[in-house]
Homo-oligomer: A and B are copies of this chain.
Amino acid sequence: MSFIPLLPGSLSGPPAERSDAARNRERLLGAARELIAECGPDALTMDRLAERAGVGKGTVFRRFGSRAGLMMTLLSDSEAAFQARFMFGPPPLGPGAPGLERLIAFGAERIAYVMEHGDLARAAEASARSRYEVPAAKLWQRHIELLLREEGMDADPLLMAMSLTATLDPDRILHAVRVHGLAPERLTDSWRELVTRVVRGR
């Protein structure tokens, strides 16, 4: 008996992962989480990961493309949760509150997110490509831009959003907190001041 697709093939998405491929992906993700739990993300090398998962190195790269890709995969759950909260969640982060309130909340949540997943996020940003052109990054910036427009921003909302996004860069935030020893609350306060001034205009 043969399988008759209910939808045209192209709508079913990619032709379904082979079972061994799926098994290896799970093994790899598990091994990666183990290694990170043991020694932190910086100590995770692709060779060690392959060995721990009992898999060839080529397999690791076919699955995730690059080290940054692997890190993004590991982050994708918490990342998706964050996205859901600022797009559909309760105010002030989600819709329902005024734009400025949402901007302030967005920065605060982002800073908290970096405090929790910062090392992983940094490792996921290896190349310049994977820093700005990743869907998640484009989404944040677009979100900020939208909130700025909602607040009547007249001056180039796209570039203003870009500047505000730069402030929330994980690398910079982690450096400020870990090297300079600044308290995260201070960053949050400064973010509030910054967006308030930018939105209020001249």
Contact = CB atoms under 8 A, between A and B. Distances in A.
A31 interface: no
* Copies of this polypeptide in the complex: 2
Q: Interface size class for chain A? A: 20 to 34
A118 to B, nearest CB: 12
Contacts of A175: 128, 131-132
A135 interface: no
Interface in A166-202: 166-167, 169, 171-172, 175-176, 179, 182, 186-187, 189-190, 193-194, 196-198, 200-202
A133 interface: yes
A14 B111 CA distance: 44
Contacts of A132: 172, 175, 179
A160 interface: yes
A159 interface: yes
Contacts of A200: 197, 202
A155 interface: yes
Nearest to A163: B167
A162 interface: yes
Helix, strand, loop or mixed for chain A's interface?
Answer: helix
A172 B162 contact: yes
A99 to B, nearest CB: 15
Given A132-B179, A169-B166, A160 B194 contact: yes
19 contacts: A131-B171, A131-B175, A132-B172, A132-B175, A156-B186, A159-B176, A159-B182, A159-B186, A162-B176, A163-B166, A163-B190, A166-B166, A166-B167, A166-B172, A194-B198, A197-B197, A197-B201, A197-B202, A200-B202
Interface of A: 122, 128, 131-133, 155-156, 159-160, 162-163, 166-167, 169, 171-172, 175-176, 179, 182, 186-187, 189-190, 193-194, 196-198, 200-202
Interface pairs A-B: 4 shortest CB-CB: A159-B190, A166-B166, A155-B193, A163-B167
